[in-house]
Amino acid sequence: MLEEASQADYGSRLNMLIGVDFGGTQVKAGIVENGEVVRSTSTPTRAGSSAAEVLDTIASTVLALSSKPDAVGVAIPGEVNSEGRCWRLPNVPGFEGVRIAEELAKRLLCPIAVENDATTAALGERLHGHGREHPSFLMMTLGTGIGGGLVLGHQLYPGANGFAAEVGHMNVDSSPAAPLCACGQRGCVEAYAGTRALLREYAKFGGSASEVLPIAVSARRGEEAGLKTFEMMGSALGRLLANIQNLLDLNAVVFSGGVSASFDLIEPHVRSALRAHTFAPPLAEVPLLVSELGERAGVIGAAHLTQL
**pLDDT tens digits for 5-63?**
333 333 334 468 999 999 878 899 999 998 899 999 999 988 888 999 999 999 999 99
Q: Give the pLDDT of residue 244.
A: 98
Cβ contact 76:119 at 8 Å: no
User: What's the half-sphere exposure (Cβ side, CA atoms, 13 Å) at 129?
Assistant: 31
Q: Give the pLDDT of residue 81.
A: 87
CA distance 70 to 31: 11
Q: Give the pLDDT of residue 92.
A: 81
Positions in the chain whose pLDDT score sits under 50: 1-14
- Total Cβ atoms within 10 A of residue 52: 11
Q: Give the pLDDT of residue 279.
A: 95
Structural domains of the chain ordered from first start: 7-121+296-307 (3.30.420.40), 133-291 (3.30.420.40)
Q: Give the pLDDT of residue 54.
A: 94
